[in-house]
């Protein structure tokens, strides 16, 4: 998303998966909220709708594909997710 960084959201999500600070659904929900906050704080008013759609898409992706990573026994493998 031009002008908006989801880096904090991604790092926070990776940390939650790595340390299993919460259950997977909570980690994913925090990720979504962090991205939404980035949209509201960093995007221009006219960018916010598309930013929020992007955040929703990323949230949907981690909900759909994150289980194998959260469930890894070795902590370092929990954050070794593909980025595309």
Residues in the chain: 84
Answer whether 32's CB lies under 8 Å from 82's CB: no
Residues 7, 9, 11, 17: is their CA dihedral positive or negative? negative
Whole-angstrom distance, CA of residue 50 vs CA of residue 64: 21
Q: Residue 57 CB: number of other CB atoms within 10 A?
A: 10
pTM of the entire structure?
Answer: 0.88
- How crowded is the C-beta side of 84, counted as CA atoms within 13 Å? 7
pLDDT in tens, 4-57: 999 999 999 999 998 899 999 999 999 999 999 999 999 999 999 999 999 999
Percent of the chain whose predicted confidence (pLDDT) is above 90: 75
| pLDDT band, residue 84 (cuts 50/70/90) | very low
């Amino acid at each position: 998303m031009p002008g908006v960084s989801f880096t904090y959201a991604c790092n926070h999500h990776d940390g939650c998966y790595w340390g299993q600070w919460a259950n997977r659904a909570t980690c994913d929900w925090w990720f979504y909220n962090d991205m939404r906050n980035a949209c509201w704080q960093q995007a221009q008013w006219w960018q916010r709708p598309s930013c929020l759609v992007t955040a929703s898409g990323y949230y949907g992706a981690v909900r759909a594909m994150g289980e194998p990573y959260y469930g890894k026994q070795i902590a370092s493998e929990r954050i070794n997710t593909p980025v595309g």
